[in-house]
């Protein structure tokens, strides 16, 4: 499973990217706002992320109509050949995704909630979809079951599933066991993935034994 970080906070991202365990970083307008990153500062953020260990960076378009989304997508892609353009799963977003994909621009169709949208994303040539697991579950849907349906529907299409809105670190290995290929998590969830009290307790014993052997 490929692991991504869902943040634009440089201080929070730096130590996690330095581990080399996270393939890249995903952002959206809400994430940028929380980190105090304004749209004119996005190119600088992208450069910093790529220099800090991210192999891929995802940046979302903000326009509403297909033509404007397409133009914005090309402008974002011009920032780096390691940038993936995120496009919301609206009607105009799907039209723009088809055009961008046909032009060789990798697109992630985001805020996906239903398997129908997964099928449309594949028809549009999207590289990824980003289903919002936490929000799906909070809306009363069986998010995990819908994700499995999406993954089966997309098998062999060239469109992958990058699960977003993951609230709990314990869900990540369950998603991997379900065969999901990628997940993006907030930095708090990422840190929680490293935490294991039994490992910490064993290390205390190992350290004591090592001291006694000197």
The average pLDDT across 118-146 equals: 96
pLDDT at 2: 98
Please state, rounded to an integer, the average pLDDT across all residues of the chain.
97
- DSSP E strand stretches across 35-149: 56-60, 83-88, 107-112, 128-131
Class of residue 193 by CB neighbours under 10 A (exposed 0-12, middle 13-18, buried 19+): middle
**Can you tell me the mean pLDDT for 110-124?**
97
Residue 77: which residues within 8 A CB-CB, separation 6 or more? 83, 85, 100, 105, 106
Please name which of 171, 101, 76, 88 lies closest in space to residue 131, comparing C-alpha atoms: 88
The confidence score (pLDDT) of residue 195 equals 95
What percentage of residues in the chain have a pLDDT greater than 90? 100
Q: What are phi and psi for residue 180, nearest 5 degrees?
A: -70, 140
Whole-angstrom distance, CA of residue 34 vs CA of residue 8: 8
Q: Which among 87, 94, 139, 152 has a CA at the least distance from the CA of 120?
A: 94
pLDDT at 126: 98
Rounded CA-CA distance 22/72 in Å is: 27
Per the annotation, the verdict on 135 as an active-site residue is: no
Helix (H, G, I), strand (E, B) or coil at 172: helix
Identified catalytic residue from 86, 98, 99, 127: 86
- Range of lowest pLDDT (85-89, 121-125, 136-140): 136-140
Residue 163 near residue 131, CB atoms below 8 Å? yes
pLDDT (0 to 100) of residue 190 = 98
State percent of the chain over pLDDT 70: 100
- ∠ CA(151), CA(13), CA(38), 5° rounding? 95
- Residue 179: the pLDDT is 94
pLDDT at site 209? 96
Within the chain, what is the greatest distance between any pair of CA atoms? 70
């Amino acid at each position: 499973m490929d692991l991504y970080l869902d943040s634009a906070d440089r201080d929070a991202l730096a130590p996690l990217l330095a581990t080399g365990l996270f393939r890249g970083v995903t952002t959206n307008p809400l994430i940028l706002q929380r980190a105090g990153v304004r749209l004119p500062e996005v190119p600088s953020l992208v450069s910093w992320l790529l220099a800090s260990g991210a192999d891929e960076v995802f940046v979302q378009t903000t326009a509403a109509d297909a033509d404007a989304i397409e133009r914005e997508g090309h402008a974002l892609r011009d920032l780096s050949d390691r940038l993936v353009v995120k496009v919301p799963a609206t009607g105009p977003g799907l039209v723009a995704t088809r055009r961008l994909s046909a032009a060789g621009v990798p697109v992630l169709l985001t805020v996906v909630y239903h398997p129908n949208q997964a099928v449309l994303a594949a028809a549009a040539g999207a590289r990824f979809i980003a289903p919002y697991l936490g929000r799906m579950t909070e809306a009363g849907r069986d998010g995990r079951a819908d994700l499995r349906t999406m993954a089966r529907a997309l098998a062999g299409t060239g469109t992958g599933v990058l699960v977003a809105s993951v609230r709990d670190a314990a869900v990540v290995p369950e998603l991997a066991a379900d065969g999901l290929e990628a997940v993006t998590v907030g930095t708090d969830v990422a840190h929680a993935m490293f935490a294991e009290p039994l490992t910490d307790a064993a290390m205390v014993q190992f350290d004591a034994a090592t001291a006694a052997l000197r």
